[in-house]
Structure 1
Amino acid sequence: MADDTPDDDTLKAADAKTLHKTVRESGEDELRRPAMQLFWSALAAGIAISVSLLTEAALHAALPDTPWRELVTGFGYPIGFLAVILGRMQLFTESTITAMLPLVTRPSRWALWRTVRLWGIVLFANLCGTAIAGLAIAQGVIGNEEIRAAALTISSSITELSAGRTFVNAIPAGFMIAILAWALPNARSQSVLVIVAFTYLLVIAGFSHSIVGSSEAFLLMFAGRIGVAQTLFALIAPAVLGNLVGGAGIFAVLAHGQVRGEMPQEDET
C-alpha cells in the first residue's frame, strides 16, 4: 500500500508557497492604498521608529561606562520596531519585499509604477517623521539633557562610516528586515520575540538601517554636528540604496525563486 504522507520537502514547499502568497497579497493591498493613507501611516512610523533611539539613549544614560553597556543599550533598539510593526504602520524597509513580490510575480507597468509610488511616498513620509523626532530631541522637547547627550553619543557612530561603507553595511540590514517581514505571518504568538531577535542583531552587528539611521542623522544635523549635504547624501541615501539591494534585490528574488514554477496556476495569472 502506497504511503501518501507528504515528505519534508513537500511540506517545506507548501509552507514557502503559503508564505509567498500571504506576503504578496499584503503587498498588493499596500500598492492599492490611497496616497494620503500611505503618507500618514508612514509619517507616524517615522516618528514612532525614533523611539528606538530614545530608548537606547535612556538606557545609555542610566548605565555605567562598562564594556557591556552597549550590549544592554542595544535592547532599546527593537522598541521602535515593535511600535511600528505591531501598530501596522508603513515602514520603508518592510515594504522593500512586500511591494516587490507582486512585481516579480506579475510584472506589469501598473505594478512597477505602483511599487515606485509606494516606495517614494513611504520613504519621504518616514524621513519627515524622523526629521520631526530628530528636531524635537535636538531642541530638548523630548527627554532631558542626559538623554539628549546620550542620543548624540549613540548617533555619532554613524559618521565613522564612509558613504560606500554605509551602503555595504545597509545591505545585510535590508536583507534581515525582509526576512523579518517574510517570517512574521508564521510567527503568530511569537511575533514580539521574532521582532526583538532580528532587530537586536541589527544593532549589535552595527548594520545600517536607513530609517532608524535617519533619525540619528537628523539629530546630529539639527544639533549642528553635521551639514545638510552629509546628512542626506553621505548617511541617508547610501543606507536607503543598501537596504533596497538587500531587501528588494537579494531577498525578494530568492524568496520568489524558491516557489516559482510550483505556485498554483491561479496565483500566476
Structure 2
Amino acid sequence: MSYDPRRPGEDKSQRAQTRERDDAQVEKAHRPDALILHEIIRREGEEEMRRTALALSLSGFSAGLTMGFSLIVPGVLKGHLPHEPWADLIVSMGYSIGFLIVVLGRQQLFTENTVTPILPLLTERTSGAFLRVVRLWSIVLVANIVATIVIASVLAHTDAFKPEVREAFAEISRHTIEDPFWTTVIKAVFAGWLIALMVWILPATGSAAPFIIILMTWLVSMCGLAHIVAGSVDAYYLVATGEIDLAKYVTGFFVPTLLGNVVGGVTLVSVLNFGQVAPDMEGQDRVGV
C-alpha cells in the first residue's frame, strides 16, 4: 500500500505544508552521505591550514599536555584495581580520556591531521597544497611531542601520585617499547586507521560524538596499538625515569609509530574515502554543480 500524505480535513495548501514538513523531517533524519562528509572535513582542513603558526603551535602543545591523561587515568585505575583479567578492560577505557578532551576541545592532534588536510591536498593536488600540509604536520607534530616530553617528565619526577600508581605508569609504559620495529609499525598502522576513521565519521555522529571518541580510542588501547602522541607520553616516561635511553625512544617507538600512523591514516582512510567520492565530485563538475 502506498503512502498517502493527505490527512482528514486538510485542504490542498495544508497538504502541501504537510509534505514540506515531512520532507524536512526526513532530510533532518537522513544520514549524511560520503560526499557530504568529505566536504565537511575538506573545509575543516582548509581552515586548519590557514591558521597561524603560533595558533597551531599552542593548540598542538595543549593537545600534547592533555594526552598525559591517557597515561594518568589508566595508571590511577591500574594502581587501585585488583590484578584480574577484567581490570585491563577498565584500565584501557581510561586511555580514552585524553582523546576525549583533545577532540571535543578542538586541540590539534597529529593523527587527526592525517585526514583533515589530506583531503584538500587530494582535491587540489598542487605543490602549494602539499607544502601547506607539510607546514601543518611539522608544526603540530613538534608541538605535540614537545608537550608529551614535558608532561612525561613532570609525571616521572613528582610525588603527586602514590608509589603504586607510579609503578603502574611504568608498567603501562613498557608496553610501548616491547615490540620489534616492524611489529610496532603494523600496530601503528591499525591505530592510525582507527583514529582517522573516527575523524571521518564524527561529523555524522552529532550528540553521539563523545561515545564514538571513547569507543574508537578504547579499541586502540584494548588492542595494544601504537599512537604517536599518547604513546610518546608513555615512552618518554621511561626515558625520564632512566629505564631506557633516548635512542631507544626514537628507534623503538617514535620512528616506527610515526611511520605506521601516517600510513594508516593517509592511505587507508584519506585516499580510500576520497576515492569513493571522487567520481561523484567529477559528475557534479560536469553538470556544473
1:229 maps to 247
Q: Report the CA distance between 1:160 and its aligned residue.
A: 1.4
Q: Which residue of 1 aligns with 2:285?
A: 265
Letter in 2 for 1:30: E
What do residues 40-74 of structure 1 show as CA deviations (whole Å, max 9, x unaligned)? 10000000011011000000001011121211111
Preserved contact between residue 174 and residue 247 of structure 1 (Cα < 8 Å): yes
Matched, 1:183 2:201: yes
Change (3 A) 1:36 1:142: farther
- TM-score, length basis structure 1: 0.92
Offset at residue 181 of structure 1 (A)? 0.4
Whole-angstrom distance in 2 between the partners of 1:197 and 1:250: 19
- 1:145 corresponds in structure 2 to 163
AA in 2 matched with 1:265? D
Equivalent of 2:216 in 194, 198, 207: 198
Matched residue pairs, number? 258
Q: Which of 172, 191, 212 lines up with 2:230 in the alignment?
A: 212
Q: Is the 8 A contact 1:136 1:142 kept in 2?
A: no
Larger Rg: 2
Structure 1 CA distance, aligned partners of 2:200 and 2:161? 35
The worse-fitting range, judged by mean Cα deviation, of 206-215 and 133-142 is 133-142
1:51 aligns with 2:65: no
1:167–1:241 CA contact under 8 A, matched in 2: yes
**1:169 aligned residue:** 187
Deviation at 1:250, TM superposition (A): 2.0
Calculate percent identity across the aligned residue pairs: 38
Does the alignment pair 1:20 with 2:30?
Answer: no
Pair 1:33-2:34 in alignment: no
2:140 aligned with 1:122, yes or no? yes
Displacement of 1:177 after TM fit? 0.5
Query: Aligned-pair distance for 1:142?
Result: 4.7
Aligned position for 1:93:
111
Does the 8 Å contact 1:158/1:213 carry over to 2?
yes
Q: Does 1:156 align with 2:189?
A: no
Amino acid at match of 1:37: A
Q: Distance in 2 between matches of 1:203 and 1:160?
A: 15
Rounded Cα–Cα distance in structure 2 between residues aligned with 1:246 and 1:67: 29
In the TM superposition, residue 147 of structure 1 has moved relative to its aligned partner by 1.9
Q: Residue type matched to 1:218 in 2?
A: Y
Runs of 4+ that moved beyond 4 A: none
Aligned to 2:27: none
- Unaligned residue ranges in structure 2 (runs of 5+): 1-22, 24-29
Q: Which letter does structure 1 place at the counterpart of 2:146?
A: C
Q: Which amino acid aligns with 2:274?
A: H
For the residues of structure 2 that align with 1:193 and 1:205, how far apart are their CA atoms?
A: 18
RMSD of aligned Cα (Å): 1.8
